[in-house]
Amino acid sequence: MLALGAGLLWRLWAAPGLLCSARSDFVAQGAGLRALALKSLASGRFPLWDPSCDAGMPAHANPLATYLLPLDWLYLALPFDRATNLIFLLNALLAGAAMYACARRWLKSPWAAAFCGASYMLAFRFLALFDAGWLPTVMLYALAPLLLLTLDRAIERPGPGRSAALAATLAACLMQGSMQSLYYALLAGAAFAAARLARRERPARPRVLAWLAAGGLVGVFLAAPDLLPRLQFAALSTRMTPSWRFFLNDAPRWTALKTLLAPFDAGGTRYEYWENCFYFGAWLYPLWAWALARDRRRAGLLFGLTALFVLLCFDTPLLRLAYEAVPGFRLFRRPTRLLQLAQLTGVLLAGLGVDDLLGRLRPRPAAAAGLLLCLLPVLDAGARIVPRLTTRPLAEALPEPAFADLLRRAPGNGRVAEIGRAALPYGQAAYFGIDMVNGYEPLNLRDFVEYFDVLQHGDARRARAAPVVWTDLTAITRPDLLRALDARWIVSEATQPLAGLGWEPAGEREGAPAFDFYRGWRRATVRLWRDSRPWGPAFFARSLTPVRTERESLAALEASRSARDAVVLGWGGAAPAGLRGGSVRETRRGYGVSDYAVDSRGANFLVLSQVWYPGWRARLDGRPLALYRTDHALLGAEIPDGRHELALEMTSPALEWGLLLAALGGAAFAALAAAAMLA
């Protein structure tokens, strides 16, 4: 089975270049996140902060980053393109092996289990994620059968060894990058565990629950270095403002059920063809019918679960009930991502049919029939999706954007704001070492999105309405707020009326590469503007307005005349009198660390064009300096008279606590493993 997978996906280990396509999310974003980690580590710092996106945001705490996941360590040892391709391939092989092991538990024939593994590993919907470049999502798909298996084993015969296996699997699930897939898998796992527990004798249940709790707790502890920073980031993101419309996000119509028979993907050219696709594999459906006819109890349960996952993809009262009643359900979008679970249950359902068919044959004919059945997903994948999984040289997959030599990060060089998305793809900025004020993330800091909306429209209407994914610049109502972000450069394909705002033409490139999200590369004319009166990476306030709450902070920002009239949250003392300003020069610009030479004429208040986040720490002339949330989304500090050296550093107490918990979890895991070996 694994040989079939490795052979069919040979390009991922034998062909040169990077797995990519016009639709690749990895090209649009994933490559930047991983290049950022390599650059940060090369500078001697763990990647806590991403300066390339949204004027700065958490890096390690971003669920898509998965820097601590063991598979991602391949980037430390292999060339960038080779590591990426192998991670995709290993996830595919893990999916097949995990499903084989899971099916082997409930099916008699190893060939039926191999059929399940091959059908799951080579499913159209799974390999379409490779074409889409959804590297963080494929990991949970691979781990879901393993989570089901370890849960079932731990409930069947609880003990230290099976509890340790559950802990390891759960830790890997918590560390992977798709929180939505994890949420659905945990809901399904909890329902499965409850159903299995109900079948155990009442006296045995407390012991089973105790070992499940032990495994679950150890797994959470092992994953704590990822989990705690992510929880902190999520709590500060716009996802805490749910919206039914955002949740549905182009929910399928009932006519989409025609894709049960074929993907109808227009050869891969249909926009986001992997979404709203119900194609589980045509070879499975006759086997579903056979399983339902031969084993109504088990097959009926699996068919009911598959149908439930499909039904929950549609805008129905059932989906609305889940949205309103199930905790956490409303925080995500596109319920069609439940179809990953439907693929799992659908494959197991077909496996029941294969098991019954092979059980009617003698061993040798059964083996031959099993091998032939394993070829069905190979043939389907080979015809429908594998030809799209092509590689290209890195320079072609990720061509350098126009003006990259001018825009790369350096002390005092400022950031880039983009009007439109194609001239400089947001997620590629980190790959080329460019800092942008735009971004595209599953989590966006709420305070920055509110600030960005005031910049564009004069108020924060959009940020209040729903979660935000894209921070597109469509208008500039408050150019002072753009300058406060040190947006020294503006790029766009179209001409823009920027001269009246102070940004002057600085260049034009014809035939420059431009990337349309999910449509690919094309050639375009890219224009560049430079700020003629920049404020720099930090500036002195001309007045202070102390506020006590976030609501007051946002209202004061909306009412302010300029970002120089600083709105300071949490200011407890008297404002410095007679703010006279001074000069500031950025002397170092690293990853999560910046140094400034400050010359203050009297006592002043300095505003830093760094996005506020709880981990920032500052030292002035080597001594700790208090930082304040300023202008709603930035940092500020009181500066005494004279010349000073200011050092700013991003820290992560959440990561530190997570590492401590992981050490405890590692010790507990070792104890469980040792107890299992001695038993």
Q: Residue 621 in 3-state DSSP?
A: coil
Global confidence as pTM: 0.95
Compute the distance between CA of residue 304 and CA of residue 311 in angstroms, rounded to an integer. 10
The sign of the dihedral angle between the CA atoms of 56, 60, 66, 70 is positive
Mean pLDDT of 480-487: 98
pLDDT tens digits, one per residue of 563-619:
999 999 988 777 777 788 999 999 999 999 999 999 999 999 999 999 999 999 999
DSSP letter, residue 502: T
CATH numbers and ranges of domains, the chain: 60-385 (no CATH), 399-531 (no CATH), 538-613+616-650 (2.60.40)
Nearest to 302 by CA among 249, 252, 351, 372: 351
pLDDT confidence of residue 184: 96
pLDDT confidence of residue 241: 86
Mean pLDDT of 260-287: 94
pLDDT tens digits, one per residue of 226-250:
999 999 999 999 988 888 999 998 8
Nearest to 50 by CA among 42, 61, 628: 61
Query: Per-residue b/e over 163-198, b at no fewer than 16 CB within 10 Å?
Result: bbbbbbbbbbbbbbbbbbbbbbbebbbeebbeeeee
Nearest to 305 by CA among 189, 136, 440: 189
Q: Residue 640 in 3-state DSSP?
A: coil
Query: Among the residues of 24-121, which ranges form H helices?
Result: 25, 31-42, 74-77, 80-106, 110-121
pLDDT tens digits, one per residue of 500-554:
999 999 999 999 999 998 888 999 999 999 999 999 999 999 999 999 999 999 9
pLDDT tens digits, one per residue of 78-125:
999 999 999 999 999 999 999 999 999 999 999 999 999 999 999 999
Residue 251: CB partners within 8 Å, gap ≥ 6?
276, 313, 314, 315, 334, 335, 336
Compute the distance between CA of residue 603 and CA of residue 378 in angstroms, rounded to an integer. 72
Asked if residue 83 lies in contact with residue 342, where contact means CB atoms within 8 angstroms, the answer is no
Query: Per-residue b/e over 443-479, b at no fewer than 16 CB within 10 Å?
Result: bbbbbbbbbbbbbbbebbebbeebbbbebbbeebebb
Query: What proportion of the chain, given as a percentage, has pLDDT over 90?
Result: 91
pLDDT band, very low/low/confident/very high, at 462 (cuts 50, 70, 90): low
Q: Which long-range contacts (CB under 8 A, 24 or more apart) does 510-513 make?
A: 512/401, 512/402, 512/423, 513/399, 513/400, 513/401, 513/402
Is residue 652 left, alpha or beta, with left meaning phi > 0 and alpha meaning psi from -120 to 50?
A: beta
Compute the distance between CA of residue 509 and CA of residue 493 in angstroms, rounded to an integer. 10
Q: Tokens standing for 26?
A: 């990895």
Q: Is the pLDDT of residue 1 over 90?
A: no
Compute the distance between CA of residue 339 and CA of residue 335 in angstroms, rounded to an integer. 8
Amino acid at 189: G
Compute the distance between CA of residue 657 and CA of residue 653 in angstroms, rounded to an integer. 6
Mean pLDDT of 194-220: 95
Out of 72-86, 164-178, 217-231, 571-585, which region has the weakest mean confidence (pLDDT)?
571-585
Q: Tokens standing for 361?
A: 């044959």
pLDDT band, very low/low/confident/very high, at 77 (cuts 50, 70, 90): very high
pLDDT band, very low/low/confident/very high, at 463 (cuts 50, 70, 90): low
